[in-house]
Amino acid sequence: MKIAVLGTGNAGLACAGDLALAGHEVHLWGRTRANFASVLLNKASRSGPGLIHVNALEHGGDAQIALVTDDIAQSIEGVNLILVAAPAFAHDDITRGFAPHVQADQVVAYMPGNFTTPSARRILESTGAPDVLLVETATLPYGTRRGQGAEVTIPVRTVRNPTAALPASRTAEAIAILQQVYPAVMPAVDVLDTALLNPNCPAHATLMTTSAGAVEHFGAAYDMQTQGITPATLRLIYALDAERIAVREALGYGAPHFPQNTYYDRAHAEEGMFGQTAVQLVAESALWRERVTMEHRYLGEDVAYGLSLIAEMGQVAGVPTPSVDAVIQVASVLRGEELRWRGRTLASLGLEGLGIADLRARVH
C-alpha cells in the first residue's frame, strides 16, 4: 500500500518506520523541516538519506522512507491511505492543509481521533473537497518514543484498537482497509464510541496532576509512567475511568469499555488494548524517563480534548463527573490556562443542544 504519514513526532516516526519495514511505500510529511531533517540527513550515520532506524521486538531495522517532505500536497499525491499521526490540537490545521489536495478514493485516519472526524468533515465540506472516508482510532498503534536523530523505539503495540468511520455505515469498509496495515484494529459502534475509549485521558491527566512537583523538580530523572503509579494515583485514575464508563453507558454504549485496570492490573490485561506485558515493557524500556513540562500534550491534548469531552458528554447524558471536573480544574491551574473549553466542543462542531438520540444519529 502507498501511505502518507502526516507528523514527525513520536507517533509519526514510529508509523513511518514500522510500515516501511513491513513493505509499504511510505511518504512522511512534517510541518517544520527541522523536525525531520535527521531523516533526510541521517545524522546517526546508519545507512543513508531517507532512513528511520526502528528499535522494536518486531520489524526492527533501517526503514527506507520513499519521500520525506514539508509539501503536504506532494506527500499525499497518489497514496491510498493518509495517517494523521499528530496530537488532536494539530488535526484541524493538518486537515486544512491537505483539504485542497485530497482525492475521493483516499482514506484519512486520525490516530487517535479524540472526536476529530466531525470537525474534519466540516473543514473538508467548507473547502469543496471530495467525500473521502474519514476514520479515527481509539489510541495510537504503539507505545513509542523518538530517540536521537532518525531513530524510534517501539516497545509496545496494540492488540486491540477500536476504530470507526464517519459515517458509521462505512466502518466495515474502513476496518477492511486499515487491517491491511494494522491487524489489531477492531470495529467500534461509531466515532463517539471510539473517542470515549481513548485510554490516555484518565491516565495521563492524572499522572501529570499528581506528579507535578516531581516532574518539575526531577526532570528526566523521574519516570512518571512507573514511579508515578502509586496506590493513591491509581485510585484517582480509576475514579476518572468509572465516570467515563458511566457516561458511555448513559449514552447507550455497551462493553467492551476497556477499563484502566486492563492496563494496570495484569490479571485483566489480556482483555485490554495493549496485552499482558505492556506495563512491564514500558518500565523496562525506560523511555518515559523524560523531561516534560506543563506544556506537554498530556495536558494540552488529554485534558483539553479528552477529559473535556467526557465532561461535556456527561452534561448531555445527565451524568455527574466530579472527579473529571476536578482534574480539569487542577490541570488548568497547573498549566496556567483554562483547558476545559480550549479543545473541541459540541458548539465548535455544530452539535450544541442535541440530545443523546440526535447526537448519535449525527455520527451514524
pLDDT at 15 over 60: yes
Residue 256 to residues 2, 160, 245, 252, 271, Cα–Cα distance (Å)? 32, 11, 10, 12, 9
Output the pLDDT for position 32. Answer: 82
Output the pLDDT for position 117. Answer: 97
Cell numbers linked to 164: 470507526
Cell numbers linked to 137: 482510532
Output the pLDDT for position 153. Answer: 94
- How confident is the model over 306-351, as pLDDT tens digits? 999 999 999 999 999 999 999 999 999 999 999 998 888 999 999 9
Output the pLDDT for position 51. Answer: 87
- How confident is the model over 194-218, as pLDDT tens digits? 999 999 999 999 999 999 999 999 9
- How confident is the model over 136-173, as pLDDT tens digits? 999 999 999 988 888 999 999 999 999 999 999 999 99
Output the pLDDT for position 41. Answer: 59
The secondary structure of 105-117, three-state, reads CCEEEECCCCCCH
- How confident is the model over 219-254, as pLDDT tens digits? 999 999 999 999 999 999 999 999 999 999 999 999
pLDDT at 46 over 70: no
Output the pLDDT for position 45. Answer: 39
- How confident is the model over 77-100, as pLDDT tens digits? 999 999 999 999 999 999 999 999
Query: What domains does the chain contain, in order, with CATH numbers?
Result: 2-195 (3.40.50.720), 200-363 (1.10.1040.10)
The residue-averaged pLDDT of 93-121 equals: 97
Let me know if 305 is exposed, middle or buried by CB neighbors in 10 A (0-12, 13-18, 19+).
buried
